Amino acid sequence: MSHALRLRDAVEVTFESGILSFADRDIELSIEIEIGKQPELVALNRKKLECWLQSNAPDAEQVVQVLCSLAMLDEGSSRVEIRKKQTLFQLNQLLEFTKQHVPFYEPDTYPSAVASLQEMATLPLLRKSDVRGRFLDLVSGELDLASGISSGEVSLGSTSGSTGERLQSLSGPEVAQNPASYDYVWFGGHKADHRRSPF
């Protein structure tokens, strides 16, 4: 690596049980990266981590890529630039999830990533007619809909139809928790094993 890598001052890091955890206090974004046993990271501090990131350790380069994507390295960026970069990362994680788990988002029609927030305008819109016509295709494969409805954990509902046609919806704790990684992807953290993740 050509220059010294430094975490931004607002980024806290811990290493426990093979998982590196980073938390950005400024933006309230966190991520966990499973890297396995790394004896050199025992009794971790910032200096030790920054040296490890510049080493030839097998996982270091992938961790650096994730930290760059999340603007957690000190690159002199403004808070606005940092937030844009982190929002783009979160959006791409959500797009990747939908491509893998929601049948409606067909591989040839919807991208699994965008290069900038401006590209969001190029994403196909979801219309009411899509929800009406392909309702079940909009349900994540991670949700066992039949089991949820039969147990009462999931309810099938609809809007009042004041605009002419009713729109179906799902509600219940099973829906609120689906997918299991929803809170991480959408609300700021992302527990990831970089060997399986698209970054």
Tokens 């979801």 locate to 126
Which helix (H) or strand (E) segment holds residue 119: the answer is: none
Which domain, by its residues, includes 18? 11-77+187-192
Q: Give CA–CA dist 106/92, Å, rounded.
A: 16
In a domain, 161, yes or no: no
Residue of 178 and 142 predicted with greater confidence: 142
Q: How confident is the model at residue 12 (pLDDT cuts 50, 70, 90)?
A: very high
Residue of 186 and 69 predicted with greater confidence: 69
Q: Which residues contact 89 (CB under 8 A, 6 or more apart)?
A: 69, 70, 199
In a domain, 155, yes or no: no
- Taking only the tens place, the pLDDT of each residue in 94-151 is 888 888 888 888 777 778 888 888 888 888 888 888 888 998 898 888 888 888 889 9
- Taking only the tens place, the pLDDT of each residue in 37-81 is 888 888 888 888 999 999 888 889 989 998 998 899 999 999 899
In a domain, 32, yes or no: yes
Q: What pLDDT, on the 0 to 100 scale, is given for residue 11?
A: 93
Q: What phi and psi values does residue 195 have, to the nearest 5 degrees? A: -70, -20
Cβ–Cβ under 8 Å, residues 11 and 170:
no
Separation in Å, CA 168 to CA 62, 155, 165: 42, 10, 10
Tokens 């392909």 locate to 134
Count of structural domains within the chain: 1
Cβ–Cβ under 8 Å, residues 90 and 98:
no
Q: What pLDDT, on the 0 to 100 scale, is given for residue 90?
A: 84
Provide the residue count of the chain: 199
In a domain, 153, yes or no: no
In a domain, 180, yes or no: no
Q: What pLDDT, on the 0 to 100 scale, is given for residue 8?
A: 93
Residue 141 tokens, joined: 């494969």
Count CB-CB contacts under 10 A for residue 9.
10
Record the pTM: 0.70
In a domain, 63, yes or no: yes
- Taking only the tens place, the pLDDT of each residue in 151-167 is 988 888 888 888 788 88
Q: How confident is the model at residue 171 (pLDDT cuts 50, 70, 90)?
A: confident
In a domain, 95, yes or no: no
Res 185 pLDDT > 50: no
Q: Which residues of 160-180 are buried (b: 16+ CB within 10 A; e: fewer)?
A: eeeeeeeeeebebebbeebbe
Q: Which residues of 18-55 are buried (b: 16+ CB within 10 A; e: fewer)?
A: eebebbbeebebbbbbbbeebeebeebeeeebbebbbe
Res 177 pLDDT > 50: yes
Residue 132 tokens, joined: 């009406």
In a domain, 30, yes or no: yes
